[in-house]
Amino acid sequence: MYDGILRLDFEPGTHIVDFAADVALVVIAKELTVAEEVTNRAIIKLLSGHGCFRSYLKRFNHDESDECTWCGAGIVEDASHVLQHCPRFDVERCRLQNVMGELVTSRNLIRMMIADTDVWEAVSAFAVRVMKVLRKLEREGSAQ
């Protein structure tokens, strides 16, 4: 389980530069139930990279390759690729970006999630849809 804390009250000027493999997201709220309501497992997987991403699966020998089978050409399927670039999720990303009002990047995502509950909910919906697809592909044994 996650035992690290990524506090969301960053100092002014702090920039999220990328996703790290071993970062957990913990939402701090006065009440545990409130924290549980505003986050979900899919967001944690997306932001931490601990999901059904082929890079993560390969890391633990659950997949032979980390290549995105949608993109091919040696493109690694990790959280950053899925969130920002993979055409497999263009529809979902477009919905998210419509709410954000700008392109999603690893630099603006968390800042905008914190500032706007609509963005938070859009990221949650994106994460749920993406993880559902990736989990299905993992169960089928090939990411097609």
Residues near Zn ion (CB under 5 A) are: 68, 70-71, 86
CB of 143 to Zn ion, least distance (A): 9
Taking a C-beta distance cutoff of 8 angstroms, is the pair 86, 71 a contact? Answer: yes
The 3-state DSSP class for residue 113 equals helix
CB of 33 to Zn ion, least distance (A): 36
CB of 69 to Zn ion, least distance (A): 8
Residue among 26 and 76 whose Cβ is closer to Zn ion: 76
Unique residue bearing structure tokens 């989990």 = 135
Of residues 51, 54, 55, 49, the one with CA closest to residue 106: 49
CB of 54 to Zn ion, least distance (A): 9
Residue among 70 and 106 whose Cβ is closer to Zn ion: 70
Residue among 66 and 119 whose Cβ is closer to Zn ion: 66
Dihedral class, residue 13 (left if φ above 0, else alpha if ψ from -120 to 50, else beta): left
Residue among 32 and 73 whose Cβ is closer to Zn ion: 73
DSSP H helical ranges for the chain: 32-38, 41-48, 54-59, 79-84, 90-100, 109-115, 117-140
Taking a C-beta distance cutoff of 8 angstroms, is the pair 96, 123 a contact? Answer: yes
Residue among 77 and 113 whose Cβ is closer to Zn ion: 77
CB of 88 to Zn ion, least distance (A): 6
